[in-house]
Amino acid sequence: MKVLVIGGGAREHALCRSLSQDPAVTELHCAPGNAGIAQVATVHPVDQLDGAAVLALARELAAELVVVGPEAPLVAGVADPLRAAGIPVFGPSAEAAQLEGSKAFAKDVMAGAAVPTARSYLCTTAEEAAEALDAFGAPYVVKDDGLAAGKGVVVTADRTAALAHAAACMTVTAERPGGGSVVIEEYLDGPEVSLFAITDGTTVLPLQPAQDFKRALDGDAGPNTGGMGAYSPLPWAPEGLVDEVLDTVLQPTVDELRRRGTPFSGLLYAGLALTSRGTRVIEFNARFGDPETQVVLARLRTPLAGLLLAAANGTLAALEPLRWDEGAAVTVVVAAQGYPAAPRSGDVIEGLEKAETADGTVHVLHAGTREQDGLVLSAGGRVLSVTATGADLAQARERAYAGVAEIRLEGSQHRTDIALRAAQEAAAS
Ligand code: AMP
């Protein structure tokens, strides 16, 4: 099978790594890719948001499967011309990707499918926003209605800050032409879980749950980021969680989207809060999450290409049950100095080979890198995702941090507490 992956972050590196290990894959391509992806796939300098260019590349390569990684090309509709041309594509249509692209659309689908989520108001004026904030009380949750790479949400006890973010979300700018509205919702307490499911629009196959760390600094301090690390499995999660979420969230959502005439095929990501009043959806994403993908795929034993192709072709129901590594995986993101506000780039990265182990238990996935004159340079806020597997979380953690310790990147930052509490609790129980 000739496979083309669209994107150039650590999620796509993880996808490419797993695809390259699938014996069914005879050729692997990625656009635009990065310096790490170039080691396992042929990379092509094609604009991932340009549907016509992606289609032309897929045709030129005679791709038999195209996997669209990030949300931006999905929301921009890059999957649509591919599907129209009869090329199997893993990733939803532009219409179905609105599940991630518009919080208001997602809330509407959840209401239609009776999926438990935070109560919310869609506001278009400062007066409405103020009323909504007062209706729920502190802590306040204020969300940009459009795509914001995980950074459009402010959770704060400060009413003035909440109002200021609401005003910013409602301002229409050149970068945010879809602005004009803001979602204000009730605060959800309790731990968060990311649960991914592969779906062909009818059948839904949940993957293993993971947890990510959104805040920049240890102890969940600092600003929200795209994600600073992740681990899987979750030894503390209640038994039956995956089945419950399949029955109450994932299957009803997929059924509702099909009923509306916007069938969703690809990866449905449920961001959940396990609150004192039950499981609630915080958000949906229309693609693999980054960095959770790094740990989920590190544990998946079922060959990836066949799984994604079955989703693209509508034949998931015929697939064997998924197979998983019984152990654990941890990934630690190495970010550039200044991330998330003003990351610096163009610095030389050293120690990449030393960080990895020959048996693959530690592997370095590139998030934002590029190659120049034989050197690997930083080229993004999140630069690397050092991923390790082990018999349990403690061992996977230890290995991941041993890998991180080998990396040399001036001014870089990483959290030191990824999976720490879960590993300690698991060891104590
Ligand atoms: P989102 O982009 O919707 O995933 O939000 C980013 C992060 O903000 C989530 O992972 C949560 O940590 C936090 N968040 C979002 N919505 C809520 C909510 N209703 N209650 C509490 N925290 C939230």
Kindly list the protein residues whose Cβ atom lies closer than 6 A to any atom of ligand 1. 118, 141, 143, 150, 153, 155, 185, 187-188, 192, 214, 224, 271, 282-283
Q: How confident is the model at residue 147 (pLDDT cuts 50, 70, 90)?
A: low
408 vs 202: CA distance, rounded Å: 46
- pLDDT attached to residue 148: 58
Ligand 1 centre distance from Cα of residue 100 (Å): 13
Give the atom of ligand 1 at the shortest distance from the alpha carbon of 280: 19
| Predicted confidence (pLDDT) at residue 150 exceeds the cutoff of 60 | no
Model pLDDT, residue 176: 62
What's the pTM value of the predicted model, to 2 decimals? Answer: 0.94
* Higher per-residue pLDDT: 170 or 382: 382
Alpha carbon of 77 to ligand 1 centroid (Å): 26
Task: Report the DSSP pairing between strands 362-366 and 328-335.
Answer: unpaired
Task: State the DSSP code for 29.
Answer: E
Is pLDDT at 9 greater than 70 in this prediction? yes
Q: Please determine, for residue 152, whether its predicted confidence score (pLDDT) is greater than 60.
A: yes
| 183, amino acid identity | V
pLDDT at 114: 97
Query: What is d(CA 396, CA 391) in angstroms, rounded to the nearest whole number?
Result: 7
Residue 273 Cα to ligand 1 middle (Å): 9
Instruction: Please give the pLDDT value at position 149.
Output: 52
CA 269 to each of CA 199, 232, 316: distance values in angstroms, whole numbers, following the listed order: 10, 15, 17
pLDDT in tens, 287-298: 999 999 999 999
Provide mean pLDDT across the span 262-273: 98
Long-range contacts of 78-83 (CB under 8 A, 24+ apart): 78/6, 78/48, 78/49, 78/50, 78/51, 78/54, 79/266, 80/51, 81/51, 81/52, 81/54, 81/55, 82/51, 82/54, 82/55, 82/58
For a mutational test of ligand 1's pocket, the pick from 187, 282, 290, i.e. the residue with the most ligand atoms closer than 8 A to its C-beta, is 282
Give the pLDDT of residue 173. Answer: 73
DSSP lists the bridge partners of residue 369 as 378
CA of 282 to the centre of ligand 1 (A): 6
283 CA → ligand 1 middle, Å: 7
The structure tokens listed for 158 are 């400060």
pLDDT of residue 102: 86
Q: What share of the chain has pLDDT > 90, as a percent?
A: 91
What's the CA-to-centroid distance between 153 and ligand 1, angstroms? 7
As a whole number of angstroms, the distance between CA 154 and CA 367 comes to 25
Model pLDDT for residues 101-146, shown as the tens digit of each residue: 888 899 999 999 999 999 999 999 999 999 999 999 999 999 987 6
Nearest CA to ligand 1 atom 12: 214
Comparing 370 with 146, the larger pLDDT belongs to: 370
Tens digit of each residue's pLDDT (9 = 90 or more) over 222-258: 988 999 999 999 999 999 999 999 999 999 999 999 9
Contact of 299 with 325, CB cutoff 8 Å: yes
* Residue of minimum CA distance from atom 10 in ligand 1: 214
pLDDT surpassing 80 at residue 177: no
The pair phi, psi for residue 138, each rounded to 5°, is: -80, 155
- pLDDT value at position 172? 76
